Amino acid sequence: MKGLGSGVIAPKFSHMWEFIAQILRVMVSDGVIDKAKFDSFYMPFYEPSVKELREIIQDEGSFSVSEMRVHGPQSGLDSALMVPSRFVNMTRAVFEPVIVQHFGQVMDEFVRTLERRWSVEGMMQCKTTLPEAHDQGWPYPSRGH
């Protein structure tokens, strides 16, 4: 399960969230989405620590935890399988409901922008930067711990 080690402060967002923000910023500059809509876009993001997750499971009572492992976002991903079309389809599957609800029917343009960005940046340097946090303005709350 993807998560944080106990005692680790979560970054404001992961590289993936920043990548989505960059795509949306391009769409703002291209006039596809309204800047005010972009500025008001908010998606809370929270990754519990191992300790928090264990406590939640134990408090709920239906299960017991005998072993729990924390994996980074790229664990188990075979970079050879992460081809542009697969990445774009996964990204669309995850983000389409939220993007369409907030921005309207812009998903086809989002995908085109994503594909262009992918071809320019080439897999976003997936192996080295995806798990890293970046600190550019994007409306995600910090964990506050």
In a domain, 29, yes or no: yes
Q: At 135, is the pLDDT very low, low, confident or very high (cuts 50, 70, 90)?
A: very low
Q: What is the pLDDT of residues 92-125, one digit of tens each?
A: 998 999 999 999 999 999 999 998 887 766 554 4
In a domain, 82, yes or no: yes
What pairs with residue 14 in β-bridges? 133
In a domain, 104, yes or no: yes
Q: What is the pLDDT of residues 5-45, one digit of tens each?
A: 445 444 444 667 788 889 999 999 999 999 999 999 987 77
Q: How many domains does the chain have?
A: 1
Instruction: Write out the residue range of the structural domain in which residue 120 sits.
Output: 15-129
133 three-state secondary structure = strand
In a domain, 6, yes or no: no
Q: What is the pLDDT of residues 124-134, one digit of tens each?
A: 444 334 433 33
In a domain, 56, yes or no: yes
In a domain, 134, yes or no: no
Q: Are 115 and 92 in contact (CB under 8 A)?
A: no
In a domain, 137, yes or no: no
Q: Looking at the whole model, is its pTM more than 0.85?
A: no
| CATH code assigned at 32 | 1.10.1200
Closest of 86, 88, 93, 90 to residue 117, by C-alpha: 88
Q: At 47, is the pLDDT very low, low, confident or very high (cuts 50, 70, 90)?
A: confident
